[in-house]
């Protein structure tokens, strides 16, 4: 799989997906995002360019664009929270601050060279899940 970023992908719009102002607004937020965002954060940012998109609509749009492969949904904090980011065709991991819930991207994957010792030798591994947690810089400095 090749790595492509939003700029290279340009105006690619999946076939069969209706182009609406609200969908464009949600995608524009994801394209500008510096990291994965929660639905409520996406909603708040859609208001920066115009009228904010309703949260229920944001959820519906996210569901569609995840299904179309344009964005990925990640469960963090043991599935308690869902965050979304543009599908950059790249395997990613995150560290989550247990105090302020800030999400920090990880540049490497410690599992890349890891060969799991499985009792079922015929088990074909296709992926993994890894979550790092701790305190971000701000929270670590806080009293």
- Among the listed residues 27, 65, 83, 136, the single contact to Zn ion using CB under 5 A: 136
Q: Residue 6 or 97: which CB sits closer to Zn ion?
A: 97
- Contacts of residue 42, Cβ cutoff 8 Å, sequence gap at least 6: 26, 29, 30, 58, 62, 84
Residue pair 70/87 in contact by the 8 Å Cβ criterion: yes
Beta bridge partners of 83: 74
Q: Residue 10 or 143: which CB sits closer to Zn ion?
A: 143
- Among the listed residues 100, 106, 118, 125, the single contact to Zn ion using CB under 5 A: 100
Does residue 17 belong to the site contacting Zn ion (CB under 5 A)?
no
Residue range at the interface with Zn ion (CB under 5 A); choices 19-27, 41-49, 60-68, 101-109: 101-109
User: Residue 58 in 3-state DSSP?
Assistant: helix
Does residue 102 belong to the site contacting Zn ion (CB under 5 A)?
yes
Q: Residue 84 or 94: which CB sits closer to Zn ion?
A: 94
Q: Half-sphere exposure of 113 toward its Cβ, with a 13 Å CA cutoff?
A: 2
Does residue 99 belong to the site contacting Zn ion (CB under 5 A)?
yes
Residue pair 86/28 in contact by the 8 Å Cβ criterion: no
Residues that bind Zn ion (CB under 5 A): 97, 99-100, 102, 109, 111, 136, 139
């Amino acid at each position: 799989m090749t790595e492509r970023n939003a700029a290279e992908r340009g105006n690619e719009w999946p076939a069969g997906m209706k182009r609406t102002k609200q969908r464009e607004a949600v995608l524009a937020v994801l394209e500008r995002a510096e990291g994965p965002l929660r639905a409520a954060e996406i909603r708040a940012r859609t208001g920066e360019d115009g009228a904010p998109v309703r949260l229920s609509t944001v959820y519906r749009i996210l569901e569609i664009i995840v299904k179309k492969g344009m964005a990925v949904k990640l469960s963090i904090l043991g599935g308690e929270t869902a965050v979304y980011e543009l599908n950059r065709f790249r395997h990613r991991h995150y560290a989550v601050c247990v105090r302020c819930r800030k999400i920090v991207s990880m540049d490497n994957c410690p599992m890349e060279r890891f060969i799991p010792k499985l009792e079922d030798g015929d088990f074909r591994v296709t992926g993994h899940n890894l979550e790092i947690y701790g305190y971000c810089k701000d929270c670590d400095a806080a009293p």
